[in-house]
Structure 1
Amino acid sequence: MKRSNFKVRKKNDRVSLTEDIRNHVIYSLSKEVKDASEWDAGKALALALRDRLVERMIETRDRYRRVKAKRMYYFSIEYLLGRCLGNNLCNMEILDLCEDIFKDLGYDLDEVRASERDPALGNGGLGRLAACFLDSLATLDLPGCGYGIHYEYGLFRQSIHNGYQKELADYWMKEGMPLQVARPDQSVIVPLYGRVESAATPSGDYLPMWVDWDDIIGVPYDIPVVGYGGKTVNYLRLFAARASENFDMDIFNHGDYIRAVQRKIESEMVSKVLYPTESVSFGKELRLVQEYFLVACGLRDITRRFLAQNKNFEEFADYVAIQLNDTHPALTVVELMRYLVDERRIEWDKAWEITRATCAYTNHTLLPEALELWSVSLIEKVLPRHLQIIYEINSRFLKKVESKYPADNEKLRRMSLICEDGTKKVRMANLAVVGSHSVNGVSELHSELVKTRLFPDFYEFAPQKFNNKTNGVTPRRWMLKANPALAALLTDTLGKGWITDLNELHKLEEHINDSEFRARFMEAKRTNKIKLGNFINSTLDINIPPDSIFDIQAKRIHEYKRQLLNVLHVIHLYLELVDNDVEPSCSRAFLFAGKAAPGYWEAKQIIKLIHSVAKVINNDPRAEGLLKVAFLPDYRVSLAEKIVPACDVSEQISTAGTEASGTGNMKFAMNGALTVGTYDGANIEMLEEVGQDNFYLFGLKQEEVEKALREGSYHPREIYNHSPEIRQVFTALLENRFSPDEPDLFRWLVDKLLTDNEQYMHLADFKSYSEAQKRIDRDYAEKEIWAAKAILNTARMGKFSTDRTMLEYAEDIWKIKAVK
């Protein structure tokens, strides 16, 4: 069959789907239909769906080939996909049909979907953003796909024992993933270690030879990514590490079978486990190998595809765009140079021009500890030829800097790819900036700080490459799928256009004075609160009244995200009630969710504090019906889909200047939550969109935080001395009211928060935060006022769809066009 004649044959009608489900039960699972369990039926449905996705994936590929489309390849060390079955059924617009088919077959599709495990391929926002991007690329018919690692064990499962986080292995592939497609025929070889020999060409030019390297095999697995409407199906290609047969057999043939097996195991460790954030000690060899493995596999795959249609590598950047999602894939710059110079024999300057025109870099963090540094000695051990190339890139780059800024040695030192303060290290962020034609932040404030705080020298040197691309989220996952009650109301009111054009939500403002619409909007919210309340009751045995304010902070546990500030305020409200006889004007349920990196002691202690406070408050009859606190364990995409639609108040309270963007803030607001937040990240742009009356702003601004810390003028003990509320909270902690069986458990916290120039300035923002919470209470008590504010939050969130984000990347950075 000619590729150009390929036709999609699988239909999405009831008869065809039912027949295919039955056939997969028989021919794929080897069972009679009458003996099939609910799980069997679910797997058969997934296989029937995969048949349809694969057909459309082939058709999409051929469509791109026919027009020789330029393609974008998204390199990310993480992808947080969430459950795939229901999302694909939604985007194919056959969810309701499949629910009816399963009902006819005697099964509950909701139960089947709930049994699917989240692919645990990411830590949090970075990986979830990547997944949202892929959804929007396919929905917009843009030729782009993702590259990542097929981790066997993803981010740990979180369990709670006596209030402490415990990490459990998450073998997410235990039941398999029927939707993925193995591509062993497109496996690639990845070289590692070895040494570099100096040689020369016949004309006398230097010809380095990377020799005696070990190799591992990267085996690709494709997860189809279907756009809404089912017309375009791109994919996420994940590479699993396998031992090289030649390598293992060479050892085996020398009689050392045990060592052969051991080397095989060591090789396959590369894709065995995802590293949690904040726990990677720089210089960790396996992590460096993982990062190179991703880069090498991706580039081998891209160049193979390029050579199938093109022979002239001078045109490479006309057909290929590579986006580096943070610094983890920064070695792309070096590997592409190695390939062009060493393997294609392209002259250095031309190869550098091609590399820079191909690569673009997104920065996601301003935190110094998150900017990767790799020791020169480790890179020399693992990637000896790449270290040579890094030094050559650096030498040529610094010559240009020196010619523009003669005798400015300090600038040369700061801009060098090599940090020489103590042990020599390679600055991966500098490498990504130098080797890319575009550098972007992910919110307007963050992008300004990237230019002025993070890379001021590079911005001064080449201002034209810096730009902003504010993050977004996909409304298909976070509204259509996660919130069917609200989605049905939106579709009844606006039609289906909002699903692919979120700016349509602006039309909701026309209905804000319609009492029936307001009532339906708030009833959808209450429905979601009841669902989440039932889930909390069944899993944690905590009863949450649905008419309480559902105040939610769901995100990675980190000091800069300031779960501590939230908990201090909860303690304050409790002490006001039981010690000062001041009842809150509204019933409150404070809900927390998030994981702490295994090596991050303070973050794990914050989880313990939340549980200790919850235990006291939830068991105090004086707080019954007024205050509840719950920590929902094992935060993941599927849990977020329960939490987000039920939220009344979204906590986005990071210290100003520390959160690059945030995307949870967008998900909550889209679903009718009001934000209490600092002037930070994308909060600022959300505030501009929804208006100050519909956003609870508090706290110092970024420039005020910077000034205080720079001048050393932040003295939290002075605030403590003048604040009876803070003194009351700290006294309760020091007197062990929340840790009667573990004396002095939280003394560290008091000591840290009272330290001069405490980095995240918790006490500086406490009063402002407390006043914002009082405004929330007053507004929530006025039901019509609150309903109007909630509706306006949903109505004015059109900007924060990843469809907008992807169109900006496509036009400004990648130069790719939709292929309808």
Structure 2
Amino acid sequence: MSKPLSAPVPVSTPVTAKDLDALLHFYLNYVAGIRPAQASKHDICNALSLAIRNHLIDNQFVTEDRYQKADSKRMYYLSMEFLIGRLLASNLHSLGLEKLAQEVLQKYGVTLQDIEEAEPDAALGNGGLGRLAACFLDSLASLDMPGFGYGINYEYGLFKQHIDHGYQRESPDHWLHEDAPWLIERSEATCNVPLYGHIDHNRKCNNGFGPWVDWQTIVGVPFDIPVVGYGGRTVNYLRLYSARSSNEFDIQIFNGGDYIKAVEEKIYSEKITKVLYPSDSCWGGKELRLIQEYFLVSCAIRDILNRHLEQNNSLDNLADKTAIQLNDTHPSLSVAELMRVLMDEYGYEWKDAWETTQACCAYTNHTLLPEALEKWPVALLQHVLPRHLELIYEINRRFLMEVEAFWPGDENRQQILSLFEESHEKQVRMAHLAIVGSHSVNGVAALHSKLVQTRLVPDFFALYPERFNNKTNGVTPRRWIVQSNPSLTHLFNDTIGTDWVLDLSQLKKLEQYADDAAFQRAFAQAKLDNKERLAQVVREQSGIMLNPASMFDVQVKRIHEYKRQLLNILRVIHEYLRIVEDGKTPEVAKTCIFAGKAAPGYVMAKLIIKLINSVAEVVNHDPVVGGMLKVAFIPDYKVSLAEKIIPAANLSEQISTAGTEASGTGNMKFSMNGALTVGTLDGANVEILEEVGKDNIYIFGLSTEEVEQMRLQNSYISKEYYQSSPAIKRILDSLVDNRFCRGEPGIFNPIFDMLLDGGDYFYHLADLESYIAIHQQIDEEFMQEDLWTRKAILNTARMGKFSSDRTILEYARDIWGIQSA
């Protein structure tokens, strides 16, 4: 990750083959120390990335000059995750240098595809939260807007997933071990992060508080990843921080002869940025996770203020020039940290500091699940961040005065709205802190935003209705069509031109070709090309042979009970039993594809992975099935794998319990790439239905209102479904009759018990028969090739709303107040 040597040939626009070849040769010879003839694909990938990086840095300088000349207001996006995937291919696409790179690589005896596959995925995220952040950065740069990301430079990220006899096994994903050519160290912008210590109540500062003293220091070292917009005009950056000890090691401990302890303290400091989401099941894990979140917040706020002061004489106009977006509750401490720095370090009075903080900060909520709304024990905050806890108490005291004025004498409201939860362990409600300290609170789909206002925090909405708004998520078409689906991209370009890449509403023009036989054939061929590509990947990774002529029925996402991979595999079991017990020969050959990771401590999710793999083992080897039904779990789901799976899907499974998925972005990616959606009326599925039309999507199951009513009345009795439906009874009985256990009798009893003994919080059995029925309709319509292809074309043509460009334009207009420059 060290800075490369200066190149002998500066890269300028336009780049020639000679320029690129000279840079490639230079980096192989003098940075890697390798003769080009001996270079591996990984070596060439690194060298080519460094060569392209030169061009990005040149453009980044020009971009910064443009922003300064325009005196642009800037937006800073704080997120614990940025799931950026591989960058070489996307950067080449954005710069229009693919053909040039292909030409240059010929002399090295490799293809561009070979080199792109040699790049590891950056392990900087887990799921939709991080991928959304990456899409937003792409759109900001493509729209020429001054928007920058702040995150953590995880050394290991989440984990690599392996499947061992059907079980998920985790191993470290040390993605940085073979260099990271896109990372540019910015040691001149290093930040000091204070931790621990105590408040000296015997002294008073000018702001009336006692000083925070005896704190320890962790050093945050920034690394920038250039973020290039489509066409290359604008290059912003994603700034990631690595933790370092304040000294190489404590010299007093070292001189005292305890070398091991000195090294241990250095290691302890640096473990802050080792992994994404350390387990918080124990006190030590909670402490590390809290420190990790504060580390991000502290580094980001420090850097934002320093950058502001480089162009401004004071912080008085900070809110006029700065927008800070909190991506979910993880960066909520930004509210307290900005207050601390403004008051303790710059001498602002409470009123001015609070007005500035609220005007700068905005909060995006990403979940309706109570367990995902972070709460930190007061005792832990007192130990790690005593000054911030003091500030949060004062924020809460002043806030509750507002509540009292709005609802006089209503102590219940005060308890509901308080930043502190008085439970067996007093805790700080981080979502409440973010709401109180921000001028905007948004959900990420129309239904989700409505539920935030009416179900999640209705009293906050009553108090601050003007703060709440909706910003339906979107995804970048540059990554999710242009890069991941070249066959479809060429078809679109040949048919309607290329304007759709920056204006996805242009896809609407494809509607006129929905019944055109030649276009239908070309569209279907593009899908087949992608299915054949995926089949090759699966064969190489797992040895499973997929039939590209079959329906590819796909569910790929984080494994969680609310996302209901369990519902999907129960339906697969039903279809299998129909074949082997009822003698029903399927009319449609079907391949059911799963992928996704379960949190290491999430026992039920990991058991669901085991069930999927066990069903696959039985179904795929049963001669009675005859290949008409196949199940594949593809391990280690990540961005580069999604880029191959999504374009190949015929059917997209978006089947979460209604009212639990905030938005979803996978549903958008699949639909853009010509897959039809089967789903509940949940998250952005509702808006996809509105856009594509009810005839071009398959909706089943309970509505949000019906789920809510069942919860209120406690009327979901799962055993009644089991007893009244022979199909459901047969499916569930197969879990405990050892049909799928294969030498591990009783292994799936916990799933059976959860579904029948009152633990089915996500109502699998209530939706199962409806789900089976909609799949029968899907099978019938898939057999009608022209009908299916027409529906797929209309899905793609009507997805213009779900570009992240549209989402960013709405944020910029309604929340951030930034403009293109």
* Normalised TM-score (structure 2): 0.97
- Does 1:20 pair with 2:23? yes
Distance 1:338 1:254 in 2: 36
**2:73 is matched by which residue type in structure 1?**
K
Change (3 A) 1:235 1:141: same
Change (3 A) 1:578 1:276: farther
> Which residue is 2:422 aligned to?
420
Among 399, 413, 424, the residue aligned to 1:397:
399
- Does 1:684 pair with 2:724? no
> Which residue is 1:664 aligned to?
666
> Which residue is 1:116 aligned to?
119
Cα distance per residue 1:468-491 (max 9 Å; x no partner): 000011111110000111111011
**1:345 is matched by which residue type in structure 2?**
G
Number of aligned pairs? Answer: 812
Distance 1:535 1:729 in 2: 31
Shift, 1:39, TM fit: 2.6
> Which residue is 2:6 aligned to?
none
Secondary structure of 1:657's aligned partner = coil
Among 139, 143, 148, the residue aligned to 1:145:
148
Distance 1:368 1:277 in 2: 18
**2:333 is matched by which residue type in structure 1?**
L
Shift, 1:303, TM fit: 0.6
- Does 1:589 pair with 2:572? no
Shift, 1:259, TM fit: 2.1
Change (3 A) 1:23 1:247: closer
- Does 1:53 pair with 2:53? no
> Which residue is 1:179 aligned to?
182
Distance 2:559 2:439 in 1: 34
> Which residue is 2:296 aligned to?
294
> Which residue is 2:230 aligned to?
228
- Does 1:285 pair with 2:258? no
Change (3 A) 1:176 1:125: same
Distance 1:314 1:277 in 2: 40
> Which residue is 2:103 aligned to?
100
Distance 1:756 1:171 in 2: 41
Is the contact made by 1:159 and 1:165 (CA closer than 8 Å) also made in structure 2? yes
Is the contact made by 2:37 and 2:108 (CA closer than 8 Å) also made in structure 1? no
> Which residue is 2:4 aligned to?
none
Cα distance per residue 1:526-575 (max 9 Å; x no partner): 00011111211222222211110000000011110011111111000011
Shift, 1:425, TM fit: 0.5
> Which residue is 2:581 aligned to?
579
Shift, 1:734, TM fit: 1.9
Secondary structure of 2:682's aligned partner = coil
> Which residue is 1:30 aligned to?
33
Change (3 A) 1:592 1:98: same
> Which residue is 2:5 aligned to?
none
> Which residue is 1:251 aligned to?
253
Is the contact made by 1:279 and 1:598 (CA closer than 8 Å) also made in structure 2? no
Name which of structure 1's ranges 99-108 and 514-523 shifts more when overlaid on structure 2: 99-108
**2:607 is matched by which residue type in structure 1?**
Q
> Which residue is 2:129 aligned to?
126
Distance 2:102 2:609 in 1: 39
Change (3 A) 1:253 1:61: farther
Distance 1:758 1:619 in 2: 31
Among 543, 546, 551, the residue aligned to 1:544:
546
Change (3 A) 1:479 1:456: same
Secondary structure of 1:284's aligned partner = helix
**1:577 is matched by which residue type in structure 2?**
I
Change (3 A) 1:565 1:276: farther
Distance 1:205 1:222 in 2: 36
> Which residue is 2:374 aligned to?
372
**1:191 is matched by which residue type in structure 2?**
P
Name which of structure 1's ranges 329-338 and 108-117 shifts more when overlaid on structure 2: 108-117
Cα distance per residue 1:603-624 (max 9 Å; x no partner): 0000000011001100001112
**1:743 is matched by which residue type in structure 2?**
P
Cα distance per residue 1:699-746 (max 9 Å; x no partner): 000010011011111112111122111111122222111114111111
Change (3 A) 1:282 1:429: farther
Shift, 1:516, TM fit: 0.8
**1:733 is matched by which residue type in structure 2?**
L
Among 528, 531, 537, the residue aligned to 1:529:
531
Is the contact made by 1:64 and 1:143 (CA closer than 8 Å) also made in structure 2? yes
Cα distance per residue 1:4-52 (max 9 Å; x no partner): xxx9835322222122212222222233333333332222111100100
Distance 1:774 1:395 in 2: 58
Among 556, 564, 573, the residue aligned to 2:566:
564
- Does 1:762 pair with 2:769? no
Name which of structure 1's ranges 171-180 and 438-447 shifts more when overlaid on structure 2: 171-180
> Which residue is 1:631 aligned to?
633
> Which residue is 1:508 aligned to?
510
Among 182, 190, 197, the residue aligned to 1:194:
197
Cα distance per residue 1:763-794 (max 9 Å; x no partner): 11111111110111111100000010000011
Distance 2:789 2:109 in 1: 40
> Which residue is 2:332 aligned to?
330
Change (3 A) 1:240 1:41: same
**2:322 is matched by which residue type in structure 1?**
V
Fraction of identical pairs, as percent: 55
> Which residue is 1:164 aligned to?
167
> Which residue is 1:654 aligned to?
656
Name which of structure 1's ranges 751-760 and 43-52 shifts more when overlaid on structure 2: 751-760
Is the contact made by 2:132 and 2:475 (CA closer than 8 Å) also made in structure 1? yes
Distance 1:643 1:34 in 2: 34
Change (3 A) 1:44 1:756: closer
Shift, 1:113, TM fit: 1.0
Shift, 1:108, TM fit: 1.9
- Does 1:11 pair with 2:28? no
**2:261 is matched by which residue type in structure 1?**
R
Distance 1:536 1:84 in 2: 23
Is the contact made by 1:327 and 1:429 (CA closer than 8 Å) also made in structure 2? yes
Distance 2:262 2:189 in 1: 25
Name which of structure 1's ranges 765-774 and 680-689 shifts more when overlaid on structure 2: 765-774
Distance 1:679 1:282 in 2: 40
* Normalised TM-score (structure 1): 0.97
**2:140 is matched by which residue type in structure 1?**
L
Distance 2:283 2:493 in 1: 49
Distance 2:26 2:53 in 1: 14
Distance 2:226 2:42 in 1: 21
> Which residue is 2:484 aligned to?
482
RMSD: 1.6
> Which residue is 1:602 aligned to?
604
Is the contact made by 2:654 and 2:667 (CA closer than 8 Å) also made in structure 1? yes
**2:469 is matched by which residue type in structure 1?**
N
- Does 1:68 pair with 2:71? yes
Distance 1:513 1:24 in 2: 52
Secondary structure of 2:140's aligned partner = helix
Distance 1:234 1:785 in 2: 44
Among 338, 342, 345, the residue aligned to 1:340:
342
- Does 1:360 pair with 2:365? no
Is the contact made by 1:220 and 1:238 (CA closer than 8 Å) also made in structure 2? yes
Q: Provide structure 1 residue ranges, at least 5 long, that are not aligned to the other structure.
A: 1-6
Cα distance per residue 1:780-809 (max 9 Å; x no partner): 100000010000011000000100000000
Q: After the TM superposition, which residues 438-453 of structure 1 pair with which residues of structure 2 at under 5 Å, given as runs? A: 438-453=440-455
Cα distance per residue 1:351-381 (max 9 Å; x no partner): 1000000000000001111111101111011
- Does 1:79 pair with 2:75? no
> Which residue is 2:312 aligned to?
310
Is the contact made by 2:24 and 2:51 (CA closer than 8 Å) also made in structure 1? yes
Among 798, 801, 810, the residue aligned to 1:799:
801
Shift, 1:585, TM fit: 1.6
Distance 1:695 1:766 in 2: 18
Cα distance per residue 1:316-363 (max 9 Å; x no partner): 100110000001000000000001111111110111000000000000
> Which residue is 1:3 aligned to?
none
